[in-house]
Structure 1
């Protein structure tokens, strides 16, 4: 995760800033434990773009200007990962190594997946799988994806294989869509905080910017939950971008949201899609966590479940196996779009982002095995996710730490503002490095472009013994920090 150089704009509007926390009760799965409210303060809503990485890029006589920018992104992103990979925790071989509670991977169901992927129907070899495929993906896989999405997205009518394109993962999907939908320098709206690597995905190939729709923890106005996205906030961000001469071509939505875990209701989805239609914006909906909703009280609706899309030619839905099936290393992603111009353009880029025929066969076999998915994998996966989530949230409550609880995804959005050595993003980085020094890797709010310093994402989808060790190390850092930080934000 990384932080980019920013170009600050003039204030677009005003909104209330962060304030001390208080205890509140939760309802409908949208509770913020001790959520934020209190003293209002005027703070301008800021519009940021990617800025100019050329000013920050590394100096190398061996690389082109594009190569230097690409290397700069890598160098900016990799500090935590480099440290972690040099000293990874292993219960037997390296028990003092770094516990990774930062990477959003599901490590709970390898036993189930290993058994299923080792069965004989997965091992097939025939000439067509070794030849160049249709760049959109083999027809047998696209047909299976269409049936799979029709069933699990609860689409009102069967989805069509002709609208499916197969790529090697969600990063490639974002890169391809940004490249074919936008001119150089144009932009997508995206609510913050968001999965920060999307910045890299949209910029490196397409040179496409992101315009941030800044969300805040304080519940004000008509909001009913912290960090709530509304059409009014989308309109303000779009107006601000237009006033600065930034051409916005689309909106990116993540549902369930990363890192908040928010699940948009069907009414909210209709409102967001209606906003996009009014302004003739494309909407990219990332539904990569759609089968990772583990709380029974949480109701998830896919965009593809809506009876009628306001603008189907500008609505593009992404899904991948990396999260819901815990197979981030397999590199399988799929796009569903009714716009054949978009489908063909993205398919052209599949020459560089395609899957091997052997992997396509395995994915088709997995997706068509509805009995295994429904009776074995999903029930056990949800039970394990819920148990891991329960353990970490109980630990956080015992420590008196506020957090968002949503019942979807692999992560908990945690409020550690009272532990900051200073109320700045520099203070946030200092706390992050103290976690890393104490052998636990988390990700800090700035990596998700959160506008309030002090929020962190904790990933809980790991084995129990690693969670125990990781949370013990988190607790030790916070206890040590409490001794030197009595009241970081005095009244």
Structure 2
């Protein structure tokens, strides 16, 4: 079956790891020089004895105060955030896991537009035993839409009603903004419509904004924290972390902000299993309170480097005939490899992924994100210039070593179509993954 195939791939992949170029893991490797320099300043080493004692499982009060000030300013919060509404955990994965069991009962479902970051499903299952209810998005642009993979409230309604027919009680809606893997940003109006939809159906909304400050173009990002007069503030829960925007995926710190006292109280009972070390909280507090460094060094430099790296990868992919979806944020691009599939199936996608891995290139296949169209891959660009060039070189060698063997079919959109949301995009395939979509075993996508 499908899962057995992925296990076999995982085992064979282990033997190939040496020398593999990893553009599959969403990590920001562009700004460690800035972080290293800031870590060398004296304030980082002023550690008080209480930091080495048993911590407040909700997070140190001083750390939560700095987080509240930071998010108030950088998320453009409608009102000053209350640090008592914040819980700090060892990563956003822990936030997903704890919320799943606090908000829902085993067997309940949660709505989530697909494709989406695949790791959410395992986290929501771990404690809560929840099942995803996908809202399928496609590359084909209909008359009512303006760009590929567009979310609408009508699609949310359709997925919810289908779940009800199947006897699934849906309790929550998960939105990733900026989106992973699409790299898009939800317009403020759509965000409001989604919140109103959830309010009508009494659904909790979990807003994952972990790429909030990794916007590299001039598109306006609207945080849910910035909206005044939320339709249902007691059911709206925000998460963010240091992994992406600060390039600190190894530091393992995630943040939950909720105004629901009962939810917060229940989450804090589980937070004891997911607490962050005191010295780590101190160090991160120094980062957050240094606004001069954030505003004049780190964030502008990070944005500039992200944009340069994104341009480099997009241009390189275009040179080898691979268009990408237009994106504004995140550390990756969503690339269209459909014309290189031998058939428009997920089996062919897996075969292409294996061939790329054999050429020592690891990128993430669309099926790992529960995409309903085969042939889409996520490539991470937040790495060195040398690695991006090497990626393009290996793609060129593999895809065009023998062009006669390349199966070019008309389902692939042109680069101009995908990069320009005003133009139509063709080729929705009927081969949807349906129940066969499962998180690939041994292939961890972050």
TM-score normalised according to structure 2 size: 0.89
Question: SS of 1:403's equivalent?
Answer: coil
1:427 aligns with 2:334: no
Alignment correspondent of 1:337: 258
Q: Is the 2:174–2:205 contact (alpha carbons within 8 Å) kept by the matching residues of 1? A: yes
Does the 8 Å contact 1:156/1:306 carry over to 2? yes
Pick which of 173-182 and 397-406 moved more: 397-406
Q: How far apart are the structure 2 equivalents of 1:159 and 1:262?
A: 26
1:270 corresponding residue in structure 2: 192
- 1:135 corresponds in structure 2 to 57
Aligned to 1:318: 239
Q: 1:104 aligns with which of 26, 38, 52?
A: 26
Q: Kindly indicate whether residue 80 of structure 2 is the aligned counterpart of residue 163 of structure 1.
A: no
Give 1:23's aligned residue: none
Higher RCO, 1 or 2 (CA under 8 Å, sep at least 6)? 2
Instruction: Output one character per residue of 1:246-281: Cα deviation in whole Å (capped at 9) or x when no partner.
Output: 010000000000000110111011000000000000
Number of the residue aligned with 1:283: 205
Does the 8 A contact of 1:265 with 1:301 survive in 2? yes
The answer on whether the counterparts of 1:411 and 1:458 sit within 8 Å (CA) in structure 2 is: yes
Q: Does the aligned pair in 2 maintain the 1:403–1:415 contact within 8 Å?
A: yes
SS in 2 for 1:404: coil
CA contact (8 A) 1:419 1:482 kept: no
What secondary structure is seen at the aligned counterpart in 1 of 2:29?
A: coil
Shift of 1:406: 1.4
CA contact (8 A) 1:401 1:415 kept: yes
> What is the match of residue 441 of structure 2?
none
Find the partner of 1:374 among 277, 288, 295: 295
Task: Indicate the residue corresponding to 2:330 in structure 1.
Answer: 409
Residues 1:154 and 2:76 are matched in the alignment: yes
Which residue of 106, 126, 145 corresponds with 1:204?
126
Offset from partner CA, 1:52-109 (integer Å, 9 cap, x none): xxxx8xxxxxxxxxxxxxxx99x6995587456x41xxxxxxxxx1111111000000
- Equivalents in 2 of 1:165, 1:182: separation in Å? 19
Distance 1:477 1:78, change over 3 A: same
CA contact (8 A) 2:342 2:407 kept: no
**Residue 348 of structure 1 pairs with residue 265 of structure 2:** no
Aligned length: 412
TM-score, normalised by the number of residues in structure 1: 0.81
Quote how far apart the aligned CAs of 1:404 are: 0.7
Task: Mark the CA change 1:369 to 1:424 in structure 2 (over 3 Å): closer, same or farther.
Answer: same
- Structure 1 spans left out of the alignment, 5+ residues: 6-55, 57-71, 88-96
- Stretch deviating more after TM superposition (377-386 or 389-398): 389-398
- Could you tell me how far apart the structure 2 residues matched to 1:392 and 1:193 are? 21
CA separation of 1:241 and 1:440: change in aligned 2, threshold 3 A: same
Query: What is the deviation of 1:449?
Result: 0.5
Cα separation, 2, equivalents of 1:79 and 1:482: 30
CA distance in 1: counterparts of 2:380 and 2:291, whole angstroms? 28
Residue of structure 2 equivalent to 1:251: 173
Quote the offset at 1:133 in angstroms: 1.6
1:113 paired with 2:69, answer no
Residue 386 of structure 1 is matched in structure 2 by 307
Please give the alpha-carbon distance, in whole angstroms, between the structure 2 residues aligned to 1:464 and 1:80.
29
